[in-house]
Structure 1
Amino acid sequence: MTQSIDVSVVIPTHTERRWASLQRTVASALDQKVTPAEVVVVVDHNPALFERAKAEFDGVTVLENVSERGASGNRNTGAFHCRSELIAFLDDDTVAHSTWLGNLAAPFDDPRVVGAGGSIVPAWERTRPSWLPDELLWTVGVSYAGMPTSVAEIRNVWSASMMVRRDAFEKVNGFRVGFGKLGDQNRPEDTELCLRISAETGGHWMYVPDSVIEHDVPLDRSTFRFFLRRCYAEGRGKVQMASLLPRDQKLGAEQDYLKRTLPRAVASNIKAATLGRGGYHALRAATVIAAVAAAGFGGGVETLAALSESESASR
């Protein structure tokens, strides 16, 4: 017997190429052990896809993005439509386990909790690249080594598996439009939203490992070239995000990750390689170094771009 919960599930989508995966995402949202108040699919400026979704999805609300093109405006359109106490987000290339929604809602019994996120596991199209270390799995959009292994307070969660109080989301006007995923641009709009909500409300976010979704990792995201581009984009995005934060709000989690998590990853993989536990460990150690270099280069490019823009504006 299913239970009900006052939460709506918002699924943004933008391209027919993900139609099959969108169908799986919607089916998994509808097949939860706790029944969502509403499942909302939001189509990002694609009239043909909107008409197809509206015609083929029964028991689902289908909307067109009324904001700017991009993931942030698309999610906002769905969230601002909802009237439920809680709003959950899934990406259109994910599949939620049947206990995802109920487990993710559990921390909200505490009124200080403004949001929560769950565990994201990879669904590789083929196999995981041997050179990719656990600490850098975030580059393919899944949970990585160093994240909590039990329910715990966390600074930010990811929009692929996020739940938030509607009043807190509305208080900050949702995701920052124009800052997020659009084409080749990849900015951490979910991290920025979490930080802004915490600063505005004084509430905190929780990580719920037993709230699980599977995230597709296609072949073109399993290449070293994609990996370097993703790290470069992350470097640019974090510098851009830092410029939006209050002066007293630092990127402490990123600093700890760079100073502790990644050096430990290099050391442990080098040790494993020297002990003959597999040559791929040496590749993983080198991958961490390449990741730091690519992110640093991206951060430098973004810093120089911001300085140039500032100088031009002051003339």
Structure 2
Amino acid sequence: MTEIHASTEGPGVSIVICCFTEARWELLLRGIGSVLAQSRPPEQVVVVVDHNRGLYLRLAEAVTGIEVVENSGPPGLSGARNTGVQAATGEIVAFLDDDAEATPDWLARLVPFYDDPDVLAIGGRVEPVWESGRPAHFPEELDWIVGCTYKGLPRVATQVRNVIGANMSFRREVFDQVGGFNASLGRQGARPLGCEETEMCIRASINAPGTRVVYEPEAVVLHHVPASRGTLRYIVARAWSEGVSKAQVTRLLRRSEILGPERRYVRRVLPRAVLRGLRSSAQGEGPAGIARAGVVTVVLAVTAVGYLHSLWRLSSPRRPSGSVFLYRRIRTDTAEAGSND
């Protein structure tokens, strides 16, 4: 990984927040407020409502200073994000989750890196804010399970393979060149699938060799984590879904080498997490350390089985392979898109 240094200015930014449920209403309002209060103001804030008419009407009436649009694509996070990209006017499109809040200097930390024309995408750190405190059995090395930055990622601005979905940004032209997020990937309602941002970053990098995706840990958002996501049941379900999602990306891009970061994570980060848990238990912490070590082991096993099982299913001659993965191109040529001729 290559260390990166930023300058001080940058282009206009459109911020996209996707939402789907009124159950997160208060969190959504806090997130919108956090982007409107940035020390470096955005050019535009777009909130995309994913096929929930009641939420759309409520939001359009309750909040000013933003654009509220309905997802015009297939249900799910990828379709909603693509709708947000279509509505975006800024040179940079930044994404924030509907249960996250940006720190005041979030954009000020992200945008300067775009002075480098070789930078395609920039993401930042996602810190968990646990609803009921971090469970004793949940190690920081597994924070990716709840969509947050996990222990083991770089501590300085660094070139990486992909950004984290809750805190990411792309040049607008990237979507024009390679299309939008893959609608067959990503969360759809309660299904904890993912990797749409991983696939997007890889596809963009393949399209433009020599370019970079950057992780800037000083650009921080706070991500709300409900107590239900700390349970062993959710951990196992999310681990399985991660294996399935990684298999989909591997099959889609037909490049096994894209899993290099995962291999390094398995070889370096997870063994240390297991040893740390066992050592903590031996030093008097009690069963919590053993529990963390056990959870790491279970997550590794479940993710691996989910990956192999899904890869086998996707490779089965009874199932279509690449044909099921369709991209929805993002068009900016309004004359072409809007013509009735």
Shorter-normalised TM range:
over 0.9
TM-score, normalised relative to structure 2: 0.87
Segments ≥4 residues shifted beyond 6 Å: none
The answer for the alignment partner of 2:47 in structure 1 is: 41
Secondary structure in 1 matching 2:179? coil
The answer for the alignment partner of 2:335 in structure 1 is: none
Per-residue Cα deviation, 1:241-287 (whole angstroms, up to 9, x for no partner): 10011437431011111122111221232233223354322111111
Counterpart among 234, 239, 252 of residue 242 in structure 2: 234
What is the root-mean-square deviation of aligned Cα atoms in Å?
A: 1.8
Q: Please give the residue correspondences for 1:205-284 in structure 2 after superposition, counting only pairs within 5 Å.
A: 205-247=213-255, 249-284=257-292
Amino acid at match of 1:259: R
Alpha-carbon distance between aligned partners in 1 of 2:258 and 2:308, rounded to the nearest angstrom: 18
Alpha-carbon distance between aligned partners in 2 of 1:257 and 1:248, rounded to the nearest angstrom: 16
1:148 matched to 2:154? The reply is: yes
The answer for the alignment partner of 1:200 in structure 2 is: 207
Equivalenced residue count is 311
Secondary structure in 2 matching 1:58? coil
Q: Is the 8 A contact 1:65 1:73 kept in 2?
A: yes
TM-score, normalised relative to structure 1: 0.94
Alpha-carbon distance between aligned partners in 2 of 1:280 and 1:305, rounded to the nearest angstrom: 37
1:4 Cα offset (Å)? 9.0
Secondary structure in 2 matching 1:250? helix
Amino acid at match of 2:25: W
Q: Is the 8 A contact 1:80 1:170 kept in 2?
A: no
Q: Please give the residue correspondences for 1:8-23 in structure 2 after superposition, counting only pairs within 5 Å.
A: 8-23=14-29
Seen in structure 2, the aligned counterparts of structure 1 residues 287 and 239 have a Cα distance that, compared at 3 Å, is: same
Alpha-carbon distance between aligned partners in 1 of 2:207 and 2:311, rounded to the nearest angstrom: 27
Moved more, 262-271 or 194-203: 262-271
The answer for the alignment partner of 1:59 in structure 2 is: 65
Amino acid at match of 1:186: L
Amino acid at match of 2:107: L
Secondary structure in 2 matching 1:89? strand
1:213 Cα offset (Å)? 0.6
Alpha-carbon distance between aligned partners in 2 of 1:149 and 1:50, rounded to the nearest angstrom: 39
The answer for the alignment partner of 1:127 in structure 2 is: 133
Amino acid at match of 2:280: A
Q: Is the 8 A contact 2:162 2:201 kept in 1?
A: yes
Alpha-carbon distance between aligned partners in 2 of 1:273 and 1:248, rounded to the nearest angstrom: 37
The answer for the alignment partner of 1:138 in structure 2 is: 144
1:313 Cα offset (Å)? 6.0
Amino acid at match of 2:196: E
Alpha-carbon distance between aligned partners in 2 of 1:284 and 1:155, rounded to the nearest angstrom: 27
Aligned-pair identity (%): 39
Q: Is the 8 A contact 1:159 1:190 kept in 2?
A: yes
